[in-house]
Structures are given as structure tokens and as C-alpha cells.
Structure 1
């Protein structure tokens, strides 16, 4: 049986090529993902470990019950430096620092742009390659990668900002670093220690003390000596080895989301490929029915017949897995190069192909192929030899069809019920699991029902197909001749389009909801915030208030407090102006902020049982108690929520105030001139973003578009596999119908008519799968939107008809392209040889 199986593989090389390609693509994607993420993770881990070469122990403030136990002062630094076994002790501070390039655009992105202090003239963390260490507030040093990207040299003047106001220091030096954020495309700007402490709000203290041990002193011994020398439990001590391990773990964790996303896409490709593999083996087994029946007649058991099919699948799986692994290694290397070309700037390191990657590639490819081939093999083994030789087994029994349709209907109904139930749940997070389960059941149920659905949906295309005459009529009949095969082929395309349509519907709804929220609830012309998401200096509001044309302005300043034993965040605003800058629906009382009168959102009011006129006591950061009165209750949204009070009441209780946003209204509304005026008032700071409502909407739209484009790219692999499925089905269908095609040619159907028949059949199957996929996608998009709507009140279902039309058009293109080779092959059949074929 083993030799027979091998002969069958070799005898049907051309027919199995598509199956090998389907498995190969899926395995290549899986192994390529693993190679890429392992390579990048290893490079970051190596870079991180090197970055901690000069760190034996790191000291940071200890926290207990939300309070800092001690400050890292120069006096404490001196005690550390005098401890036995300490070679050197360095105090470090740092934070967000936006640097502008020569065109005034920010360098790096968000949290990846940092500033820190340079300690002395020989700081081992940042060896200088040019110039000298920064001295005073008028000098900075730049990392070599940033200097190369921006073209800055020693002696150049740069523009930067830490919390809004612009600084224009001179570049005193260029240094190298193994900092992972710099390797990832960020920037690192160094100040002298006194300047860094002043800019980052840590005057007279440090964020961290870095300790290096004397030669021969281990990290554990140094930690023990420091514990004896310092007050107990006042500082956290972490060894350099632990820091490197933590950094490696953080790197691996940050790569997990990317790895999971890529692996999900690879899994979808394999899932779609499973339909292709099962379809291929079903057709191959059907074509060898008499051969298998003869084997049964001469003594082969059912188990042996099934085993022979599984051996074929095993051989195909091994070949596809090995070639897929090799292709995956190339994909991994290509992904890294592609990401680098997009500016990802990963650290240097060798290509990593781990044993886990090899094992996963082989296991996935072989198991998927054998599982997909098991059912056709088992079905073939159950056919009685005499019935098989007479081909009376071909048509499925009425009982089997009724059973299949009943099961499909029940599973689909159960899935729809679970999805609908999930949309009514109050907890959106808790509803995700049941919704995922329901969606899975719906997809499985529709797949089971697809043969039943194929006849009426394909019949609906009959009026259009009649335009093509005999070729159109034959194409429709061929498409419904074997509903199971048509269903399996269309289902592969259905899965891909379900996901694409569902994500598009949900994402565009969210995009428009956020844009609508900004336009409905914000009367301000501009929202000013930090580009990196940090806090703005109070100086920003003062400078904006003095700009020409500003008629109303209010910062939004967050502060921590405790109310009735609960942690609550207060938002300080300019009470007299805030009502002119926002439009928040009031459900109780009036939107009045001033003195000790505050407004609260419905959720907060509900938790505490408040209404207009209620009073409560807030405990501020400085432990001062303040009695406040609820003037009104408003409807919250993603931009505005919580307790809002006047800044005059909040400011006395804050040591280091910082604004999250500043809302600005101008006399002439939003315009290019007004925006330029505000940016000029801030000194064209690279750290501050001045956005009108259109800017906010475009930013959100850009993020959604980028996310969708990434997902479209990842799902393209599944669509490619689905295309192979259509090609495979048509090729084998042409092979099975060789005699029929020969007869059609003999009675007058020309080659062009044969090609047209195959193309139309392919087009009908592809559009059938597209209609099912788009229908399911819209349903899932609506369901996901219901969950989003429970938290985003402005969400409404938006059907992107333009994109849906594009998806249908692409499905039609897929059908036409997939039919090119099978149609050409059918048209070139020799009619006499085809008529004589069995």
C-alpha cells in the first residue's frame, strides 16, 4: 500500500501541484513570521544586554501605599559612591524630548524621543565620537543615528522642546548608544545634569542611580553591600543582569502582538488552504474510484485504502513543509529588510532560525494536509467495490443532504443567537468571547449550508448568463453540477471576504463616530496637546492666551483625588470659558463651573448616587479636603468625562501642574492664518500639536486607513490561496469533463465558446463566495459595532458601499484570472482524443 501511495503521488504530480502550493504558502507565512520575530527579538536582546554592560546595580525610589519612600538626592548618591565595592555611581534623569529636524518636523515618534543627562566628561553609557560633553543650558549632545538622519553636526543650532516652550541650544557633541529606542528609530538628546533636572522637574534629585562594581565584585555581593549601607526598604535595587532580562522580556512582549497578528493571518491562510486540500483530495479520490474499488476487490481493507490516501497526504505535506520552510526563511529576511526600508531601524543581528520554527513548519504543514485528506480517504474506503466500479455512488443520498442541511441550519441559528445575545451585554469586554464563539458557529454553519445555498444564488445569475448564449447556460449548469465542490471552492474566498468586510464596516464606523464626536462636542476651533501624549507646561496656555485673535481658552488639567473612598480623577478647567468651548448635553442641572461648583458625567454620578445639588468632599494630592457641589450632570464621551472643576479651586493643591490639552477659540474660526498664529506663539514647537477638527478627523482616518491596509495586506495571502483553490477546481473539472468538452467541440462549440464557458463558471463561483463573504462580513461588522456603540455613543452603522463594490469587483477579477489556465487547457483539448477518454 505504501508503494501504491507513492506511485499515485508521482502519477498525479500536476494535479497535486496546487495543493503543494497552498500548503507551501501557509507554511512559508508561519515560518517567515517566526523567523522574523525571533531575529528581531534576538537583535534587541543582544543590544539591550550590551546596553547594560556598565550597569551592575540600578537604584530607584521605593514606593509604598502610593508614596515615594525616599528621594535619590546628591547626598544619597554620595553615600552610594562611598560603599565598599562601588567603583562609580552615576545619577540619571530623563523624559520626553521632542527634537525638530532642519525642516522643523519632529524627529522620531512619540515615546521614542527622549532626553537624559550626561554625567561628567567620561560617561561610559554614551561614549562621545565628536565634540565635547554638553555644558549649561545652551548645549546638548545628539546620538549618532539621529545626527546622521537629520544632518546635524557639532556647532549647529537645534530646536527642541520638553513640555511645550522651544529651546534652541547648540550641538556640542555626538555620541553612540545601544539604547533600544534609538535603534527603533527614536532619538536621544543629552543635557548636562543640572539642565536635565530643571527641564524634567527633578531639581535636586535623580530618577535613577547607576552603580558599577569594583573588579572582582559580583552583582549579588554589590547588592548586599548596598543594602547594608542604605536605609532599609527606601530604594529598589535591581542588578544589571535582571535589567537585561527584564528588557529582553519587555522586547519579547512588545513583539508578541506583531507575532500574533502575523500568525493569525498565517493561520487564516492555512484554514483557507484546508478547503483547497480537502477539495483536491476529494476530486483525486473520485477520479480513482475504480482503482480503489479494484484494490478492495483484490483484498485491501477499508483501513488500508484510507491509509494509502493519508500516506499520499503525508508525502505532499512533507514536500510542501520543507519548501515552505525554506521560503519562510527568505520571507523572514525580506520582512526585516522591508521594515528597515520603512524606517523601523532594527538593531543589527544574524538571521535566527530556531528549532521551534523548523518543528512548527513541519508539524503545521503535515498535520493540516493529513487532516484535510482524512475525510475524503475515509469516504472512499466506505464505498462498496461493486458500486464503485459501476459509479452508482456518485450522487449523494437524499438522507445525507437532509442531515447536512439540518445540521448546518441548527449550527447557523445557534451562532446567530449567540452573536445577538452578545450585542445586548452591558460589559463590552466580557461580550467579546461569546461574540467570537457565535461568529465561529455562524461561519461553520454557513459553510455546511453552502451547497444548499449555491443553487438559488447561482440561479439568480441566470438572466445575466443568458446574454452569453450556450456558454453561459453551460457555465451555470457546471457550477451547480457538484454543489459540494462548488461550495468548498467558494468557501475559501468567503472566509477572506468575511474578515475583510467585517473589519472595514467596523473600522469605518468607529472612524466616523470619533470624527462626529469631535465635531458635536467641541466648539473650540483648536485642540492643543503634546505630540508625545505627555503633559503641557502651564506656559503653553499663557502664550496661547496672548496670541492674536484668541477669544476663549481653557486648559484641561488632570489631578488625582479620593472621593468617598474611591479614586477619582478631577479635571481642572477655566470655568468661565469652558462652556463656550464645548457642547456637552446636560441631563440634570446646569453646566456651571466656578468656585466649588462642579459638573460630573452620568457614570460618575451614578456610581456615587449624585444629582444636581449633591455635595461631596474631595481629598486632593496634598491631603487637603475640599467640599464641592454638583451643579450639573452631563453625558460623557471619549473626550470628556469625569469631574470638572474650576482651576482656581484645583491649582492650590498641585505642586507640579501640567495640562493634558488646551482648548482654543479664535475670532475668525479655524483657518490657516489662525493656526500659523498659534504655532508661532508657541515658537513652532516640535513637541506641541495644534489641531482643528479636520486635523483630528484626518489623524483618526489615517490611523484607521493604515490599520486596514496592514490587515488587507495580511489577508491577501488567504485570498491568494483561495485563488489557487478556484484554479485547482476548474483544472480538475476540465479533466473530469474531457469527454463532455470533446462532444461539445464536435457538435459545433468553438474554442472561444469553451474558454468563455470555463471563465463564466469561475466568475459565478467567485461571485457566489464574495456575496456570502460580504453578507457575513456586514453582519459581523454590525455586531462588533453594537459592542463599540455601548462605549462610543456617537457610533452608527456605516455601510461603505464604495468599498463593498470594490470587493465584488476584485472577486470578479479573481474569477477571471483563476480561469485563464483552465480555460486555455480546455480549449486546446483534442476533440477526438477527448471523446475516447474514459
Structure 2
């Protein structure tokens, strides 16, 4: 076989390699593969070699061919538009799960992003709680403290949204390039529309601001006297939160069970068929992810007891109950009261350095508390003087 040339087509062939050859050679190759060469599945008939026919002319051509065929013939002519519609419908049915799956991942990503943002700002606010309480003590209003945290979140949301839009655009271009190389080019342009860019940007900013709202409220409601306390934020009961999270997880599992029953055709409920598997998958994923996030803090104490059971059997003064208290303060008290001892002389210098470091931390903390008290006294004296005037 000799290659006489290379040709191209204007339509995407989905990675198919097309070879044009003489009918005798094609029949010979098909017979070698064990295929029947006496029958063909489809025959393409073109009414015009250069200009595509309209739908009306396609129907006229199909009717002419059907009239010319024998009455007992199993073959029949259909229009090219009907073939394309059938292929499109088949493709949509086979790939119908892709859009709900992408929607599920998008919603879960929003929830996880909001949780990470809220956790980050919670740690930032917890670390800076004395500073916010000091601002409250010198006259800052709760609204000023609240908006100071929200403005930080707004700036980070704008920067993160811009970076996210650019990364998403680059990912689309990369996917388009990969599909084109594999013979599956996209029909549309990979460049996102201004509406898509604006929606993505606004969603990123709004999620960031919402995620920082609760930590900002915690900072705004901090009492001024808390600036002099060693304990920053007392732990709140999580029993109600645990029940809410467990309910969300159970509801998400129920949605997934209904989705499986609908997909496996185990039930034929009309309302379930109307809802569809896509919405059930999406709702189940959102409720399960959100429920795990809400339920996790309620499981920390029990998990600490279970995981700390084996280490508690090891001889020593460390036990699992330390995880339920303030580990830093407990370690300070223990190192301050425990004498320096060890199994050998090699451990003595290390323990001495540890005790020295702990004592230095205590001294620095006391010095900072004294300076903070002095600042509060000066601020209160200034306010009293202003009130007398």
C-alpha cells in the first residue's frame, strides 16, 4: 500500500484516524479481520459538494431516496440533521452525570473554602484578642473592631479571587490544548466570558467575607477586661453543634441512598423522578461535607480519649487528660514545680535549658501583663480626666 497524500476535514472526528483507500483494498483488510464485507451500516449521500443543505432540502432528498428503494428493503433514508440530533442526545445521556458532578465539587469547594477561611481568621483573632480588647478599652466601638477584621478579609478576598480567576482561565486553556492534541477539540472558545469572570470574582469575595464574619464578631464583642486575662477565649459547649452536624450527615446519607435507589430503578416514586439524581447528589454532598465540618469539634474530646488511651499506659506524668485542658499552662506549671532529674547525666543539660526557657517565658509574660495594666491605667485616667472637664 502506497500513501498518495494527506487530507483534512472541517469537522472534529473525535480522535478517529480516517484512511481513504480503494474498495478492493478495504474489503481485503476487513476480511482479514473477520468482518462481513457484503453489508454496510451507513451510506452517506450528499446533495451538494460545497454548500450544506437546509433542513427542508434534506427531507426532500431523503424522501426521494426512500421512494427509489424497494418496498421490501430494510434500508431507509434519514436526514443528516436527525443523525446529528440522535448522536447529540446519546452523548448527552452518556455524559449527563458530568455537569451535576462538577456542580457538586464546586459547592463542596465553596464550603471547604469558607471553612478554611473561617478557621484562619479564628486563629488570627484568637492570637490578637488582647489587642482588640485593648482597642475596646481605649474607646474603639464594636463596629470599628468588626469592620477592621472584615476589611482585612475583603482585601484578601479580592487578591485571592483575582488569582483564582487567572488560574481557572489557565486551566481551561490547558484542557483545551490537551483535548485538541488528542483529537477532541472544544467547539466553543476557552476564553471565559465577562459574566463568568465577574461571577467567579464576586463569589470568591463574598465567601471570604462571610467566612470572616463570625471571627470578626468574636473580636468585636471582646470585653475590655479580657485584655488582662491569661485565658483568651473560654471553650463553648459543643453538644448542640454535634447534634446538628450529625443530623446534616444523616440527611446527606439519606439523599445519597435515594439517589442510588433512583439510579438502580429500585423505586418508582414520581416526586423522586422529578427531582433527579443530579440534585440528590449535590444536596447529599453539601449536607455531608457541611455536617462533617460542624460535627468535628464535638468529636475532639472523645477522639483524644481514645487515641490517648495507649500513651496513658506508658509510665510517666503525661496522660490523655492534658488534651482537654490548657496544654501550655499545664506544661508551665509542671516544669515550674518538677525538679530536674533524669536517668543519666546526658539529660540534665537538656532539662536545665528547658526549665530556663520556661522561666524566661513566664517572666516575659508577667512583664507584658504589667505593661498592659499600665496602659489600661493611663487610658482610664485620661477618660476620667476628660469626664471631669
Q: CA deviation at 1:315?
A: 0.8
Q: Over aligned residues, Cα RMSD in angstroms?
A: 5.4
Match of 1:370 in 2: 209
2:164 — aligned with what? 324
Of 301, 309, 332, 1:463 maps to 309
1:304 match: 144
- Judged with a 3 Å threshold, the aligned counterparts in structure 2 of structure 1 residues 273 and 471 are, in CA distance, closer, same or farther, namely farther
Distance in 1, matches of 2:87 and 2:200, equals: 29
* Partner in structure 1 of residue 182 of structure 2: 344
Give the superposition deviation at 1:352.
Answer: 3.1
Mapped to 1, the partners of 2:158 and 2:11 lie a distance apart of 43
Q: State the alpha-carbon separation in 2 of the partners of residues 186 and 194 from structure 1.
A: 22
CA drift of 1:312 comes to 1.0
| SS at structure 1 position matched to 2:9 | coil
CA, structure 1 residues 460+200, in 2 after alignment: closer, same or farther (shift >3 Å)? farther
Unmatched 5+ stretches in structure 2: 28-35, 67-76, 348-353, 369-389
Give the deviation of 1:359 after TM superposition: 2.7
Task: Note the C-alpha offset of 1:461.
Answer: 1.6
Q: Are residue 477 (structure 1) and residue 322 (structure 2) matched?
A: yes
Q: Is residue 289–residue 389 contact of structure 1 (8 Å, CA) maintained in 2?
A: no
Distance in structure 1 (CA, Å) of the matches to 2:245 and 2:287: 10
Q: 1:481 to 1:740 in 2, by over 3 A?
A: closer
Aligned counterpart in structure 2 of residue 272 of structure 1, from 112, 119, 122: 112
Q: CA deviation at 1:455?
A: 1.2
Q: Report the TM-score when normalising by structure 1.
A: 0.31
C-alpha deviations, 1:313-366, integer Å up to 9, x for none? Answer: 1111112222333344444455556667xx734449996354345334423322
Tell me the SS of whatever aligns to 1:175. coil
SS at match of 1:427: coil
| 1:605-653 superposed Cα distances (whole Å, 9 cap, x missing partner) | xxxxxxxxxxxxxxxxxxxxxxxxxxxxxxxxxxxxxxxxxxxxxxxxx
Alignment of 1:480-559 (within 5 A): 480-481=324-325
CA separation of 1:324 and 1:743: change in aligned 2, threshold 3 A = farther
Q: Which residue of structure 2 lines up, in the alignment, with residue 176 of structure 1?
A: 8
CA distance in 1 between partners of 2:296 and 2:197 (Å)? 36
Distance 1:255 1:185, change over 3 A: same
Output the CA distance in 1 between the equivalents of 2:60 and 2:256: 61
Q: CA deviation at 1:376?
A: 1.6
Give the Å deviation of 1:207: 3.9
1:90-137: per-residue Cα shift (whole Å, max 9, x none)? xxxxxxxxxxxxxxxxxxxxxxxxxxxxxxxxxxxxxxxxxxxxxxxx
Please say if residues 248 and 291 of structure 2, whose CA atoms lie closer than 8 Å, have aligned partners that are also in contact. Answer: yes
2:20 to 186, 190, 197: 190
Deviation readout 1:586-615 (Å, 9 max, x if unpaired):
xxxxxxxxxxxxxxxxxxxxxxxxxxxxxx
Q: 1:436 to 1:347 in 2, by over 3 A?
A: closer
Query: 1:526-605, aligned counterparts within 5 Å?
Result: none
Give the whole-Å Cα distance in 1 for the aligned partners of 2:189 and 2:126: 49
Q: What SS does structure 1 have at the residue aligned with 2:20?
A: strand
Matched ranges for 1:57-206 at <5 A? 154-155=1-2, 174-181=6-13, 184-190=14-20, 199=37, 201=39, 206=43
Secondary structure of the 2:130 match is helix
Contact 2:117 2:211 in 1 (8 A): yes
Q: 2:298 aligns with which of 452, 475, 486?
A: 452
Q: Is the 8 A contact 1:741 1:834 kept in 2?
A: no
C-alpha deviation, 1:466, in angstroms: 4.0
How does 1:223-238 map onto structure 2 within 5 Å? Answer: none
The counterpart of 2:219, out of the listed 357, 377, 380, is 380
CA drift of 1:454 comes to 1.6
1:283 equivalent to 2:123? Answer yes
The structure-2 alpha-carbon separation of the partners of 1:194 and 1:329, relative to structure 1 and needing over 3 Å to count, comes to same
Shift of 1:202: 5.2
Residue in structure 2 matched with residue 395 of structure 1 by the alignment:
234
CA contact (8 A) 2:100 2:282 kept: no
Q: Find the residue that maps to 2:15 and give its secondary structure.
A: coil
The 3 A distance-change label for structure 1 pair 441 and 388 is farther
Flag the structure with higher strand content.
1
How far apart are 1:458 and its partner, in Å?
Answer: 1.8
Q: CA deviation at 1:185?
A: 2.5
Structure having the larger proportion of residues in helix:
2
Aligned residues: 324
Secondary structure at 1:211's aligned position in 2? coil
Contact in 2 for aligned 1:290/1:389 (Cα 8 Å): yes
Instruction: For structure 1, list consecutive stretches of 5 or more residues without a partner in the other structure.
Output: 1-153, 156-170, 483-732, 754-826
Displacement of 1:452 in angstroms is 2.6
Structure 1 residues 250 and 326: alpha-carbon distance in aligned structure 2, compared to 1, 3 A threshold: farther
Aligned equivalents of 1:223, 1:407: Cα separation in 2: 58
1:742, 1:830 within 8 Å by CA — same for their partners in 2?
no
Change (3 A) 1:232 1:331: closer
- Offset of residue 282 of structure 1: 0.9
Is the 1:743–1:831 contact (alpha carbons within 8 Å) kept by the matching residues of 2?
Answer: no
Task: Tell me what 1:211 maps to.
Answer: 48
- C-alpha change, 1:834 and 1:359, in structure 2 (3 Å) is farther
- SS of corresponding position for 1:187: coil
C-alpha displacement of 1:427: 1.9
